[in-house]
Amino acid sequence: MSDRDVPLRVVIADDHPAFRRGLAAMLESAASLKVIGEAGDGEEAVERTLELVPDVVLMDVKMPGRNGIDATRQIVARNPAVAVLVLTMYEDDDSVFAAMRAGARGYLLKGAEQDDVLRAISAVAAGEAIFGPAIAERLMAYFAAGSVAAHPFPELTERERDVVELIARGKSNAAIAAELSLTLKTVQNHVSNVFTKLRVTDRSGAVIKAREAGLGREPS
């Protein structure tokens, strides 16, 4: 058997067991693919990928614990030969560009036709970048508008980016709440999420990390 005849080895990462089973059955119906593992969250996705070394990981974005963006970043950093293809229901700009910056080679929406999924798996395994039609249109419009501004922490939501910017400027939670018209409790929740995602334990650590990334400059 030549390398061309060897089925591509796939790991499915999604927190919905029924979806994983259905997707696995669909993929196994293609002789060119073999599902060698499944994961129910981002942490398990990283572990299974490092253990099994598949050709392609099908990755959901929103999962409990470590999300799909963080998992993608970890996988690509530790084994760049593994191709990550995001397969999710989320098509917002933040999710799409965060996945791209994390190293995903493709982005499809759940509900894509079987042929499109199979074609995308083969494409990313061959080193190509591929996006579903709806995502491709959004990307073209976004780039055409000149709207893509890389953020040093793509894993943060838009509101968390506002918060970390103000943290970097030395603002207190109360000051952040006033400036963003949020409740103090909401700001506290955002700050906690920022600490978790930046992997820091306190405000000083977040300030240092944010300023090292170029945040915290007062607007002129």
- Which residue's entry shows tokens 């099994």? 52
What domains appear along the chain, each with residue ranges and CATH number?
A: 3-144 (3.40.50.2300), 158-212 (1.10.10.10)
Residue 168: strand, helix, or coil: helix
- At 169 the three-state DSSP class reads coil
Dihedral pair phi/psi, residue 133, rounded to 5°: -55, -45
Interstrand relation of 56-59 and 130-131 (parallel, antiparallel or unpaired): unpaired
Average model confidence (pLDDT) across the chain: 87
pLDDT of residue 146: 55
The DSSP 8-state label assigned to residue 170 in this structure reads T
More confident residue, 140 or 99: 99
* In the predicted structure, residue 125 carries a pLDDT above the cut 50: yes
pLDDT digits (tens, 9 = 90+) for 166-220: 999 999 999 999 999 999 999 999 999 899 888 888 999 899 988 888 887 765 4
Q: What is the pLDDT of residues 97-119, one digit of tens each?
A: 788 878 899 999 898 899 999 99
pLDDT category of residue 153 using cuts at 50, 70 and 90: confident
Q: What one-character-per-residue DSSP string does 94-142 give?
A: HHHHHHHHHT-SEEEETT--HHHHHHHHHHHHTT--EE-HHHHHHHHHH
